[in-house]
Amino acid sequence: MKFDKLYYIFSIFVIIYLGIIVVPILRTLLFTSINGLVQDSKSGIIQSIELTYLMAFIVAIISVVFAIPYTYFISRSPHPFFKFVDSIIELPIMIPHTVVGIIMLLTFEPSMPLGSLISKIYPNYRFDDTFFAVIVTLFFLASAYSIRTIQVSYTKNAIEYENMARSFGYKPLEAFMLVSVPFMWRSILRGMALTWARSISEVGSMLIVAYYIFPSFTHLVGIFIYSQFIGNGLIPAAESSSILIITGLLTLLILKILEGKDASYY
């Protein structure tokens, strides 16, 4: 295959971009020894990573559950009003994350109107430092990644095939699930991965709504490493960061392999 000049020009940008991403990651991984990582694994970082990954996975599943019907609804709503509604989806991405934490407290704290209503249904309800606070806040911040990724895959061709299936007697739900969802399956996996990854990276809003998580008093991983840095300095924080990076790379690699296997079917 013969490459043109534009290919080589653009390859320079690719190399610079990859360097900006890869060099800091390699520096962090090479900063500490194996013995240091083994010792740091006893600090509580493993438990923190397990909890964070679980919370992020729950948020990713919930995001996809909402993203699929949202995509169907918006794609079939021609009125300009719904274009305005659709533009709101990106709004949480641009709001500073500490502000998101304040927004969540103003909305869900038991002393606030909605929180007060919830507390009447659940008398022992509290918001801050709970699993509910983590899930609803991360959903607010990260669900757009699932929605936009899935939405892009629900193309005009998919809708036309779906309509064709309806003409053969399929009900709307059957046509959507049997025709359109297979078109979107790789995007569903990708949207889940992006939402999962974005949820893991969150720190700012968690400092406000869930610094600890009751009843275990476990930190989410971003706050755990931040606390290590403030309390013990750079080296322990770097060791925990390396463990997080390694586990994250392995998980994303597995997701990429699954996505690749799925791709072979379509």
In a domain? residue 20 = no
* In the block, residue with structure tokens 């290919």: 7
Q: How many CB atoms lie within 10 A of CB 2?
A: 4
In a domain, 175, yes or no: yes
Check residue 112 and give left, alpha or beta (phi > 0: left; psi -120 to 50: alpha). beta
> Domain range spanning residue 221?
32-263
Nearest to 201 by CA among 87, 55, 91, 42: 55
| Residue 199 scores a pLDDT above 60 | yes
Task: Give residue-wise pLDDT tens across range 158-190.
Answer: 778 888 888 888 888 888 888 888 888 888 988
**Residue 89 CB neighbours (<10 A):** 17
Angle at the Cα of 98 from the Cα atoms of 92 and 100, rounded to 5 degrees:
35
* Residue 262: predicted pLDDT: 47
Q: Is the pLDDT of residue 147 over 60?
A: yes
pLDDT in tens, 124-141: 899 999 999 999 999 999
- Assigned domain for 13 exists: no
**Percent of the chain clearing pLDDT 70 (strictly above):** 95
Number of structural domains in the chain? 1
Domain containing 172 — which CATH number?
A: 1.10.3720.10
Residue pair 56/199 in contact by the 8 Å Cβ criterion? yes
* pLDDT at residue number 217: 82
Residue 25 belongs to a domain: no
Say if 26 falls within a structural domain.
no
Residue 249 lies in a domain: yes
**CA–CA separation, 193 and 250 (whole Å):** 13
Going by pLDDT thresholds of 50, 70 and 90, the confidence category of residue 261 is low
Place of tokens 């053969």: 168
- DSSP secondary-structure letter at 179? I
**236 lies in some domain:** yes
- Average model confidence (pLDDT) for the chain? 88
